[in-house]
Amino acid sequence: MIKPWRFCAVVLSASAAFLLAADEFPAPVPDVEIHGPNVRPEQNYAAAQSNLGFCYAHGPGVAEDSVEAYKWLLLAARQGHEAPKEHMTLLESKLLTPEQIAQGQKRAREFKPR
């Protein structure tokens, strides 16, 4: 079985390649392989956590889950990763209830890197 984060990474890499080919990004988007094939969100790697959060928010490769998205985005943001901060604000202001935000924060607190 493919882990959700690995499938999501492949989807994100393919999407980035497509968008680059279409000149939608002014600068290159890093491919997952730049970080190495064994980098995982569970290892507390902020970029991987951010990518997985975006996948949970939008559904490529995993079932959409805004609370789980918030958890992974929060973990990445706490490490100083800038990319998830704007998306977290959107989740907090438009999509999540206060209870769901609290649940995402709880999940992030309970996270233990492997």
> What's the angle, vertex CA 19, arms to CA 65 and CA 29, rounded to 5?
80
Is the pTM higher than 0.75? no
pLDDT digits (tens, 9 = 90+) for 63-76: 899 999 999 999 99
More confident call, 78 vs 39: 78
The dihedral of CA 72, 78, 83, 86: what is its sign?
positive
Determine the Cα–Cα distance for residues 40 and 97; give it in Å rounded to an integer. 29
Q: How sure is the predictor about 9, in pLDDT bands with cuts at 50, 70 and 90?
A: low
The crossing angle, in degrees rounded to 10, of helices 4-21 and 46-58 is 90
For residues 13-35, give the mean pLDDT: 38
The model's confidence at residue 4, banded by pLDDT at 50, 70 and 90, is: low
Band of the pLDDT at 44, cuts 50, 70, 90?
Answer: confident
- State the Cα–Cα distance between residues 92 and 82, nearest whole angstrom: 16
Q: How far apart are CA 100 and CA 2, in angstroms?
A: 27
pLDDT single digits (tens) 87-112: 899 999 999 999 999 999 999 999 99
Higher local confidence (pLDDT), 52 or 114: 52
Where in the chain are the domains?
A: 4-110
